[in-house]
Amino acid sequence: MPTYATRRSALALAQCRAFVAALGRAHPNVTFDEKQVVTTGDKIQDRPLADIGGKGLFVKEIEEALLAREADFAVHSIKDVPAQLPPGLALVCIPKREDPRDVLVAPRHGKLASLPPGAKVGTSSLHRAISLHITRPDLTIVPLRGNVDTRLRKVDAGECDAIVLARAGLVRLGLADRGTDVLEPDISLPAVGQGALGIEARADDAATRALLAVLHDAATAVCVQAERGVMRALGGDCHTPLAAHAHRDGGDIVLDAFVAEPDGSRLRRGSRRAPWPDEAGAALLGEALGAALLHAPDRAP
């Protein structure tokens, strides 16, 4: 019986169980066991991720369970997965992506353009804060951590005028109607891998790789590899305001990215268009864009 590992948050459980249910439909004679793991990132909710070690804290204990053979595969939000994986582990399946865009939740105001001057917008993301300030420099950005339900309660209670969340998370929780303004990528460029899941397993576990292969989505994987290539080239972590989004346009891939210093200075933007690649070619495309941004002048075109 294969065992899968997941965080205990409502969103992690919802997306993990949806993936495993689809896997079960593809393999009706296979049953699965669930191992819930409380990660360091889940335990510490009162400080920004950048202050406690970064987003890898949402996967560290889960990866330890994989390496200890306590689980056969893990289901992650791929935006939580660092650029470099521990030796012996690999992302072996990337399912079809959910909507990668950000969404504003502003119960009393609705649209980003309708927020009053000085409105308080809650987000724990450095790159979202920078994006918002570009469009609305008058806004007051306040740090906000916690699971989706906690953040929604805070905005409902009036602690913030609005919050910014990944639309994919709301969709997976059945809360898509809470979003009041979908933010297009030219307003809020999504996080690397946003909306996509990454299924991690031991690199030498051929049986598990074969089991998972049925749900691998090649187009999503190409886009995610391009975005992760940018992150890898820039050494991106939670101290780095970094965003990247790839999509298919006809027979091409289009990759947009930006990076800045932690204080928002030295904002550099870039874009690449190329014939649709395989995963390896997508990773190289992302690395090339990331390398170009590393030494680009401010606000690179």
Give the span between the Cα atoms of 45 and 62, in whole angstroms: 18
Which of 79, 89, 34, 81 is closest to 57 using CA atoms? 81
CA distances to 76, 139, 263 from 42, in Å: 14, 28, 25
Half-sphere exposure of 98 (CA within 13 A, CB side): 22
Do the beta carbons of residue 107 and residue 246 sit within 8 Å? no
Give the span between the Cα atoms of 130 and 250, in whole angstroms: 31
Q: What share of the chain is helix, strand, coil (3-state, %, to 5)?
A: 40, 25, 40
Give the span between the Cα atoms of 187 and 128, in whole angstroms: 9
Give the span between the Cα atoms of 233 and 211, in whole angstroms: 32
Q: Quick one: residue 46, left, alpha or beta (phi over 0 = left, psi -120 to 50 = alpha)?
A: alpha
Would you say the C-alpha torsion 183, 189, 191, 196 has a positive or negative sign?
A: positive
Q: Could you list the active site residues? A: 80
Give the span between the Cα atoms of 237 and 274, in whole angstroms: 27
Burial of 167 (0-12, 13-18, 19+ CB in 10 A): buried
Query: In the 8-state DSSP scheme, what is residue 34?
Result: E
